[in-house]
Amino acid sequence: MAGIEGLVKAYERFVRLPWDQALAGEQRAWFAIYEPTQERRLRLRIPEFEVATKNAGHGWTQVDLTDAFAHWMAGHEYRDAYFESPEDMSLALEDFAAAIVTQLHDALHAPTADANTVVAVVGIGSLFGLMYASDLLKKVTPAIRGRLLIFFPGQRNGSNYRLLDARDGWNYLAVPIEAAEEK
């Protein structure tokens, strides 16, 4: 039972385990790791992750970063100038990264995101080339009260994670959730 179905089953088992409230923020982050080619299948199954979370007695909040850059750019004062000279865009990417950090901080601090809530992040792959996922996580993990579930299209080797199977990975303390092969 590999692939997304196996990931759902692994998550169902994992979310039922007792939550240690004494963990550091980095250890409260969970990475649901799947092949990038399975993105559409994963998105169709996200409601199953929510149901599993609620059946385990926890709350669920979802943040979708897929269109974050488009929304940010649409509201940017200099968007037309950036389209005329895309090479100037690098100057604004720090502002975009700050906006994403703020968006995720807001979700983690929402009244509905308490110590018993999973804040699930979809669309982290859409940040590729715009900001590093590792930088985002470093900035938000101190704010995690419950658990932060990152749907992670990529791979893991030990504690080394590679988003979209690109770029040298980064070493991170997140708890991996992966589909297990049935024997």
Task: Please check whether residue 112 lies inside any domain of the structure.
Answer: yes
pLDDT score for 1? 46
Task: Please check whether residue 183 lies inside any domain of the structure.
Answer: no
Which CATH number does the domain housing residue 150 bear? 3.40.50
Task: Please check whether residue 59 lies inside any domain of the structure.
Answer: yes
Sequential pLDDT tens for the chain (183 residues): 479 999 999 999 999 999 999 998 888 999 999 999 999 999 999 999 999 999 999 999 999 999 999 888 888 776 676 667 767 777 788 889 999 999 999 999 999 999 999 999 999 999 988 888 888 999 999 999 999 999 999 988 877 777 886 765 665 778 889 987 544
Task: Please check whether residue 56 lies inside any domain of the structure.
Answer: yes
Number of structural domains in the chain? 1
Task: Please check whether residue 134 lies inside any domain of the structure.
Answer: yes
Please give the residue range of the domain that contains residue 136: 3-178
Task: Please check whether residue 123 lies inside any domain of the structure.
Answer: yes
In angstroms, the CA 48 to CA 16 distance is 14
